[in-house]
Structure formats: C-alpha cells, structure tokens
Amino acid sequence: MANYTQTDSAAGAPLLSVRNLSTHFPLDEGTVIAVDGASFDVFEGQTLGIVGESGCGKSVTARSILGILDKPGLIVDGEILFRRRGRNSGSEEVLDLTSFDPDSSEMRSIRGGEIAYVFQEPMTSFSPVHTIGNQLMEAIMLHQDMGKDEARAMGADLLRRVGIPLPDRRMDEYSFQLSGGLRQRAMIAMALSCSPRILIADEPTTALDVTTQAQILDLMSGLQEDNEMAIMLITHDLGVIAEMADYVVVMYLGQVVESAPVDDIFHNPQHPYTQALLQSIPRIQSTGQDRLASITGSVPHPYARPRGCPFNPRCPAFMLGTCDTSEPRLQPIGTRHEVSCFLHHGA
C-alpha cells in the first residue's frame, strides 16, 4: 500500500491520481476489458471532465475509484492515489485506494466522507421505502458524530442549500414524490453531507429538461466555489463540458485517447475521435437541410476488440500497416496536452 506522510506543502499536487488503471469483468463468454490502462489527475478546486460515447468506460472508472464495482468486476492493474488530510495538523498522507478491501472501514470512511458520488439516475439510487430525510440522516450520522436531532437539522439545511423549497417538509417525503430536478438536488445534498474533497458526478443532468440542467450545473459550480472541492464530471454532453470543465479527458474503449485543458480540446483537438465528437455537435447556424455529422460505425463489441489502435475501424485517418498492427500510447504534444495517436507519434 502506498501510504506515506507529506509534512511539506503539497500545493499544486493532484488530489487524486489514477495511474494505468485496468478494470476487467471476467464472464463465461470471455473477459470484458472495461478500463484499459487509464491515467489522469484531479486537482483541488478544479473540474475534470471525462467525455466519450456510451460504453467507453467512464462510469466504470468512477466506480473503480470508490470500490463499488458490480460483480464480477475487479481492478487487475494500476494505482488510485488519493491525497488525504493526515491526522496530524499540516500533514497529508497518500493512499492507494486499490490496496483496500472495498468493504473495509477505511474505504467506507473515504467513500462518502471524502469522495462523494452523484449517481446517474437518482430515482434508482434512493430507497423508495425510506424518506429522503432518513437517508440523509443516515449518511450524516455514518460519517459524523451527531444525534438524530442534529442530523435532521443539518439534513434540512443541506436541502435548503441546494435550492429545495420547504426543506423541512421534504425531509418526510419519499423520492417518488419529488420531480426529477428535486431528486437530483437531493442526491447532491446527500453527497455534500460530509463536505467531501472530491465530488464525482456521473451524468448529473441526464433526463432533465434544459432549464433544470442549467440550474443543476449552476448549483454545482456554486457549491464547488463555496467548498473548494474538486469535481470529476462524467458526461457525453460536450456542451456541459464546455461550461463546467477546466481540464478534459477523452475516453474510447476504456482508454484515454486525449487529455488537455478545455480550451485546447475545443479549439485544438488532435485525436481523430475528439475531432469527430466535436464535428457531431449541432451548429446554431445550420439549416434544416444540413445533415448532422456522425462518427462512422459504432463502438466495437467487448469481445471483439480491434487489433492495434482501438479507434482504427472508425478512423478517417487510418493508416494501413500501422494503426491495425500496433497500439499507440498517450504521449505529450504540448503543455498539459497528451494524445494517443500515430499521427503525432511514430509506430
């Protein structure tokens, strides 16, 4: 286990470092490689956007960090290094989260207490037979030394902070009595109940109307500023990425194919997949006769991964004898800009 103490200032050091993470699902039909050597950093007070098509490994990466993989998923390689406040004043310790049993008390104290998760679908994340208040209070009392009365007061205050009207009444309501936007706000309130250092938001605006989406994103930005927390934002919506992210990781078939500051991703994309994603965004200047650009083909079946570069069957810049024989690796091409493509690195 990587567990050491830093007594000096760690300003500028990443709060979370994922290094060469590989997560597999061994099944009777074969092994599904959900995450294949992904690496990235999350910095304090900043938002990391992780973008890609469905099935590219975004959510599995997030679940690997917190040790909440569905069976039979398991991490087979890599490190997840979390910089945690030490027990001594001014000290910090770096923990490799892959070294902990997912059910251990140490991991449970980190999960929810220091790294919180906003799930993709709050309707299925809340218990339908317990009130919102009971579930909020349980999360608060699990990580903080509080009685029921104190936890209830804190829960109502959290609902108020995330913009839920009549918070005292909502504490006694069930998830199915709330609208989609209110459920998502309640999920964010639960995630913030223990003042986490990192908030992982998995498609937080899915299935919400445009107005509610904007409200949720504004809420997250405001809470981030107030609490100085880092956000790891998982989405397929590049509009959300443009508005929220400071740094962007583009994933395809479990691999990071490009990573860069948000401005570089939108104004200077280097990987053909990133370019194709951006070209598929509808333009406000387009007319009814303009066809929407699309990416050729589809994400390969998990049991039929292509040889060489994972994007080569769909790539407009495919080079025979190179892209289908060797696998590129993520390498720097500029300041904080990395890309995994033979167009920028020889085979």
Token match 């994933």: residue? 251
- Does the structure show a pLDDT above 70 at 10? no
* 327, 336 contact by CB (below 8 A): no
Q: Write down the H helix ranges in the chain.
A: 58-66, 105-110, 122-125, 132-143, 148-161, 167-170, 180-191, 210-227, 238-244, 262-267, 272-279
- Does the structure show a pLDDT above 50 at 329? yes
Domains of the chain listed by start with CATH number: 3-114+194-282+294-339 (3.40.50.300), 123-193 (no CATH)
- Does the structure show a pLDDT above 60 at 6? no
Looking at residue 293, its pLDDT comes to: 76
Token match 């679908």: residue? 121
Strand order of the β-sheet with 198-202 is 115-118, 198-202, 230-235, 47-51, 247-252, 255-261, 337-339, 331-334
What is the pLDDT confidence band of residue 99, given thresholds at 50, 70 and 90?
very high
Residues 257-280 pLDDT 10s: 999 999 999 999 999 999 999 988
- Does the structure show a pLDDT above 80 at 85? no
- Residues 230-256 have a mean pLDDT of 94
- Does the structure show a pLDDT above 90 at 143? no
Looking at residue 4, its pLDDT comes to: 36
Token match 């218990």: residue? 127
SS3 content of the chain, % helix, strand, coil (to 5): 30, 25, 45
Token match 């919400």: residue? 208
Residues 161-210 pLDDT 10s: 888 999 999 999 999 999 888 888 898 888 888 888 999 999 888 777 88
Query: Comparing 287 with 7, which gets the higher pLDDT?
Result: 287
What is the pLDDT confidence band of residue 76, given thresholds at 50, 70 and 90?
very high
- The whole-model pTM stands at 0.88
Looking at residue 11, its pLDDT comes to: 42
Would you tell me how many other CB atoms lie within 10 Å of the CB of residue 299?
A: 17
What is the pLDDT confidence band of residue 5, given thresholds at 50, 70 and 90?
very low
- Residues 90-119 have a mean pLDDT of 88
Residues 295-328 pLDDT 10s: 888 888 888 889 999 999 999 999 999 999 999 9
- Residues 120-136 have a mean pLDDT of 85
- Does the structure show a pLDDT above 90 at 247? yes
- Residues 14-37 have a mean pLDDT of 94
Looking at residue 347, its pLDDT comes to: 56
Give the mean pLDDT of the chain.
88
What is the pLDDT confidence band of residue 289, given thresholds at 50, 70 and 90?
low
